[in-house]
Amino acid sequence: MDDAAVLKRKGYIMGSNLGESSFAKVKCAYSERLKFHVAVKITDRKNVPPEFLEKFLPRELEILATVSHCSIIKIYEIFETSGKVYIVMELGVRGDLLEFIKRNRGLPEEVARKMFRQLSCAVKYCHDLDVVHRDLKCDNILLDKDMNIKLSDFGFSKRCFQDENGKVILSQTFCGSAAYAAPEVIEGIPYQPKVYDIWSLGVILYVMVSGYMPYDDSNVKRMLRFQKEHRVIFPESLTHECKDLIFRMLQPDVSHRLRIEDVLNHAWVQGKRQKPHTMLE
């Protein structure tokens, strides 16, 4: 039975293609029960590697079934049939954040602040549940009709666990996109996944306010050198507070990188002014 027939039996009228990733495709569909359009992520179990099938997909399904936050994409239904998994979720009717940034060639700080605060609240919610995303990027942030952000694509997410001494068990899998990846992840060093998420947040905020990436990932070796030297070149138009927050999130030393609570309490996120000499130290 093809996807359209499967969805029809479940009360969904399949529409246009919204996108494809390595292991899944996303379709627009109309829900006859909900009376509005939804997105349906379809994963064919026969076309994915064993590691994805045994490790990543079960994690994604378990986490999606438990998270519920106003800035995380809403899941309406998950079902499986004929070797495929269907995740029915909220539709980002305004597209994704990357498209929005490109159209506007970067965002004013006031606009970026509102969106970034929403995103950071979603990440804090996840981290408080010991859930890490590990693929935070502008393409995975959708926009609703009111331009509120909706974090999506939990395909690389996992739960954090602690050993018998209470220390966080480090992750070793390279996840996400190189352009958003922290230096320790690119180097293949076992990493603290929550701290990795913070680096990706720093890249996202930089892209929001500048319209381009902080590092050129076409040469990963050179990019890694710049990252480890803590080299960040900012547009001159940015406020001191914005530069400071990005600089502290793009900190190569994981012991000094901000935690999500620090991000939310930062002067820029709070909309406060600081004296320039207190920053970038």
Counting every residue written for the chain, the total comes to 281
How far is it, in rounded angstroms, from Cα 278 to Cα 243? 12
Residue positions annotated with a catalytic role: 135
Question: Is-contact 1 16, C-beta < 8 A?
Answer: no
- Cβ pair 193, 127 in contact under 8 A: no
Distance CA 114, CA 255 (A): 28
Number of H helices, E strands in the chain: 11, 9
| Closest to 132 (Cα-Cα) out of 262, 264, 266, 260 | 260
Sign of CA dihedral 67, 73, 77, 81: negative
Angstrom distance (rounded) from CA 52 to CA 62: 14
Give CA–CA dist 120/126, Å, rounded. Answer: 10
CA distances to 86, 94, 173 from 273, in Å: 47, 32, 39
